[in-house]
Amino acid sequence: MRKLFTYIALASMMALTSCDAWLNVKPYDKMSQDELLSTESGYIKLLNGIYIELNSDMLYGAALSVEMVEIMGGAYVIGTDNSVWGNYSDLASYKYGTDYWRARLNETWNKAYSLILNCNLLLENLEKTDVAFTGDNARIIRGEALALRAMLHFDMLRLFGPVYSQNSDALAIPYYKKYSVTPNSLMTASAVAAEITRDLNEARILLANDPVRTSGTMTSAPSDGSSTFMYYRNLRLNYFAVTALLARSALYFGDMDAAYSYSTEVIQAGTDGIFPFVDKSLVIGSPDDPDRIFSSEVIFALSHSQRNKLFKGYYDPSRIPNYVFRMDNDMMSSIVFGGGASTGGHQDDYRYRVNWVATGANRYFYKYSDMVDSGNIRNTMIPMIRLGEMYLIAAESRSKDIAAGVAYVNQLRSNRGVGNLTALTRDILQYEYIRELYGEGQLFYMYKRMFTPVLFSTVASRNPAPSSAVFVLPLPSSETDN
């Protein structure tokens, strides 16, 4: 146990030396576990270290945001020339069993579970500590740690678990609630779902007095130089982020009533001005420095001080002749941002106008490119949950008839510069998910949840049919060996 903690503490320490001001922590490579867990600031440092490690390339700093899972979700044109595309052509064909992808999946699994165990370390010590905490800080820390534990388990379930709507009683993944290096047994997907829901509900109760509910996200440091722990709430799993996770997970688990209730609660917070729709002038009114991520709408984001590496490493057209991730041209022009009334796609959509830039015959994705004001906190944000997804969840869960949710989609579209839909179908809803969440690692999970073909192309024969071979990743050898 001590070895695992030391690994995360040292990795977090290295990241903390260049982290953003909102963390307000100092390197602690010489602090022992006992020292860290003997003060309020030590608990905050350990919690912040977990948030920072979410930025790992193995997790949401690449694999589970813009790279691996987005390829699996059909987001990009992937060529067959191995000298350019390397192992990506295997992944686009769902060949998970190659040596390369088995190793990559092992890394993602091991990183996620190492952070889960550090959540448990924090939670167990918090239960028995006699440290005096300021105000509601102990409840906030516990709530965020529980939510982190649930979120990481949820994404491992969505990756490695069965197609929930088809076989929720199949064995899936272990759920760790204790700090232990002894392997836990696999649980059924439905049992894991119950644990995720239980953790998120408890976190939501603990975060009842989260200042985000009364003071908003507070995205600037206190003027008196005091701790920023209760500030920058959209960079932490705040009350509404946990509620949004409950909406996302309830939809995945087929609990439509809960998904609708939770998503509409977050929508109301947006209406109340806590997460307002982006100001049009910040998107298309200042083309030299647009708010490409619609930052006011982001309910929870990671803060990555070198986020521009995502653009430079994966999307920048200047990388040619190396690989560059981009959408299929026909998909873009005929369906996602074209096609008119039949698809809901229009080129006057803010999401198209601000994030897609023409170079030659193609358009390239600029969501993660640097702002002119590169020191702005918005320039560090990797969106994890956003308001637009809540409108789409509300639309999908409104009733058994998906057409009944059209009003929610139209509310979203009215804030994207495009007109109303006259009807809503499953296909058009999927197109809207692509428009809203492209490059944020959610599309594969949408297709898996709905059990529909993954849309790589306008040519139906090129889109893999839904199957376990596509949607169920093999458990890593590090797990099966145990």
Q: What is the pLDDT of residue 10?
A: 37
The residue assigned the tokens 């490493």 is 313
Q: What is the DSSP letter of 315?
A: I
Angle between helices 99-128 and 137-160 (to 10 degrees): 160
8 Å CB contact between 238 and 215:
no
Beta-carbon-side half-sphere exposure of residue 413 (alpha carbons within 13 Å):
26
8 Å CB contact between 117 and 179:
yes
Q: Mean pLDDT lowest for which of 25-34, 53-62, 420-429?
A: 25-34
What CA–CA distance (Å, rounded) separates 98 from 87? 9
Percent of the chain with pLDDT over 70: 93
The residue assigned the tokens 């190793």 is 103
Mean pLDDT of 71-80: 96
Q: What is the pLDDT of residue 32?
A: 67
What is the CATH architecture assignment of 2-480?
A: Alpha Horseshoe (1.25)
**What's this model's pTM, rounded to 2 decimal places?**
0.93
Q: What is the pLDDT of residue 482?
A: 67
Q: What is the pLDDT of residue 24?
A: 38
| Residue 225 pLDDT > 80 | no
When pLDDT is cut at 50, 70 and 90, the band that residue 219 belongs to is: confident
Q: What is the pLDDT of residue 429?
A: 97
Q: Would you kindly state where each structural domain of the chain is located, as residue ranges?
A: 2-480
What CA–CA distance (Å, rounded) separates 310 from 137? 34
| Residue 346 pLDDT > 90 | yes
8 Å CB contact between 444 and 464:
no
pLDDT in tens, 254-300: 999 999 999 999 999 999 999 999 999 999 887 788 999 999 999 99
Secondary-structure breakdown of the chain: helix, strand, coil percentages, each rounded to the nearest 5: 55, 5, 40
